[in-house]
Amino acid sequence: EVPVQRLLLSAFSAQGLVPGGGVQFEIWCRYYYPNVRDQVVAKGTLPLSRICAMVTMQHREDVGIQTFNLPLTPRLENRKELRNQSSGLLDVGLRYRRTPRTAEGVLAARAVSISVQVIRACGLQAAAKALAEQEPALQF
C-alpha cells in the first residue's frame, strides 16, 4: 500500500509544482472602468506539508475537517516592496476522508478523497488599496 503522502507529492510534482509547494489560490477582481477586465490582485498557498500532516493525524475511515487561514500576498508588477506584505487572509476548509473501495466483493484499492473549499476571504481591502495606488486609472 502506497502512503497517501507519497501520492500527494507525486501528484503535485507531476503538475510541475515545486516539491513542498501546495494548493495555489488566486483572488481575481473584475474592473469595469475604464474597460472591463479581470485581474489577479492576490495569491495564497495551502502548503502541501499541512495537507500531509492532516493525513498523518487521521484515523482510518474517519472524516477529518480542518480550517486554515492562509495569508494573501498582493500581486503588483511594479511595487516589489509590497509583494511580501500580507493583504488579508483566505479561510480554506479542507475535508479528508479515507475509505476502502471494493470491486465485486474483493478489496480492490484504497481511494483517497480530498476536497478544498473556500469558506470566506477577508482583508481584500488592503489589496484593492495597493492596486489603486499603483494603477492611476483605478480609484478606491
**Beta strand pairing call for 106-122 and 73-74:** unpaired
pLDDT in tens, 105-136: 555 555 556 666 666 666 666 666 776 777 66
In a domain, 67, yes or no: yes
> What is the domain range of residue 94?
4-134
In a domain, 71, yes or no: yes
pLDDT at position 37:
87
Q: How far apart are CA 51 and CA 48, in angstroms?
A: 5
Torsion of CA 98, 56, 49, 71, to 10 degrees: 80
Percentage of the chain exceeding pLDDT 70: 51
In a domain, 20, yes or no: yes
In a domain, 139, yes or no: no
**pLDDT band (50, 70, 90) for residue 10:** confident
pLDDT in tens, 44-76: 888 888 888 887 776 655 667 888 888 888 876
